[in-house]
A and B are shown apart, each in its own frame.
Chain A
Amino acid sequence: MSDERIKGRYPKTIVLKDGTKVLLREMKEADREGLYEFFTRIPEEDRKLLKHDVTKKEVIDAWIKTNEDRRLLKQQYAGVFPLLAEAAGKIVANGTLHRRTSGWMKDVGEVRLVVDPDYRRKGLGSHVIEELILLAADLGLEKLVAEVVADERAALLAFQRYNFEQVAVLPGIVKDQTGTHRDLVVMVLNVATAYLPDWYYF
């Protein structure tokens, strides 16, 4: 039942504060080249914080393949749900909702987000976070985790706005591309207490 609700939601167009129109949609096989190109626009200092080496085509190919395999099995919402934001003919943001299908953490999801630097400070990241929270709610997830490197103030504030709380700081656990150690802030949202838009309840 919840799958139907999700299927009908995308693609959808949103308008950012500055009037930019952005299309939010699910990832498709045809996004291969677009994703390679998107990640070349992400600065090295951000790329090096990602858990995967996005400069390697085979990494992106593997994501596309996993997504297609699941789509064919009609298990789209198991594992990783990738949401793309498209503007001016290119991918400008990639948000993912990660979940496990069984085990002690099956009710906990994780959100990750990468935004093109030219599209930051426009509220796009927040829109994507909101969509992933809605998705989590529809899928029955009880908690969402977001891991944010300590000095990423805009990200911390964006998550806080949706009622994510800082539950832990792991000191010096992050090693960036220069070898500098930084703190990791672990934020958790009880999905039931998230600030969801009014239309969700209609």
Chain B
Amino acid sequence: MLKQYPKRERIGDGTEVILRLMVKEDQRALSEFFQRVPQEERLFFRDDVSAPATIRAWVDGLNYDRVLPLLALAGEKAIGDATLHRREHGWARHIGKVRLVIDTAYREKGLGTLLIRELVDIAKGLKLERLVAELMGTQQAALSAFRHLGFERQAVLYRHVKDQAGRPQDLVIMINDLTETPEVVSF
């Protein structure tokens, strides 16, 4: 199932993108990608993405069983990074968490939706049962896109997180039940 990559897709504005798994050699392209992420969005990352050491640690420690990073590239440039996080053990081993970053110049073109849809398919192939996405309550476009992809709002933690201005915002937990098969309606 991962053998389908690399593959070509087109996004909303006609740009051709290549989708493929991240490899060690992507270090430079990734560093440049994360340099382009606006300062205020860096708060969504657990690690300091502006530090070369962070990116190096990621590519050196690539382990698709734990973190499966799917990249979108326009030519040589990385323009999107969607990651599927899994646990090998414990009560959440059947659950994946998805995270997504899209280059600001390539937003609102369906790239985010494309990448998440790919991760949903990959997750089903890996026999995961649920996918979790965590979003800030103010991320309306993203919340809507995830809903469209089969994620449902399962919980809202009131004023749980801080935005770039340090203001408390709600944390929305969205869950996609991968075991639900759509009902076929005879019409």
Contacts and interface: CB of A to CB of B under 8 A. Distances in A.
Contact of A188 (B45, B129, B160): B160
Nearest to A169: B155
Nearest to B87: A51
28 contacts: A48-B90, A49-B90, A50-B89, A51-B87, A51-B90, A52-B89, A102-B45, A102-B46, A102-B48, A103-B43, A103-B46, A108-B161, A149-B91, A168-B155, A169-B155, A170-B154, A170-B175, A171-B154, A173-B92, A173-B95, A173-B130, A173-B175, A174-B92, A175-B91, A176-B91, A184-B91, A188-B157, A188-B160
B45 A103 contact: yes
Contacts of B76: none
Nearest to B130: A173
A143 B160 contact: yes
Interface residues of B, number: 31
Interface string A141-157: 00100000100000000
A30 interface: no
Given A100-B46, A170-B175, A186 B89 contact: no
B37 to A, nearest CB: 13
Interface of B: 42-48, 87-95, 129-130, 136, 154-158, 160-163, 171, 173, 175
Contact of B90 (A50, A102, A106, A167): A50
Contacts of B162: 104-107
Interface residues of A, number: 28
A51 B160 contact: no
Nearest to B161: A104
B93 A175 contact: yes
B157 A51 contact: no
A186 B160 CA distance: 12
A148 to B, nearest CB: 11
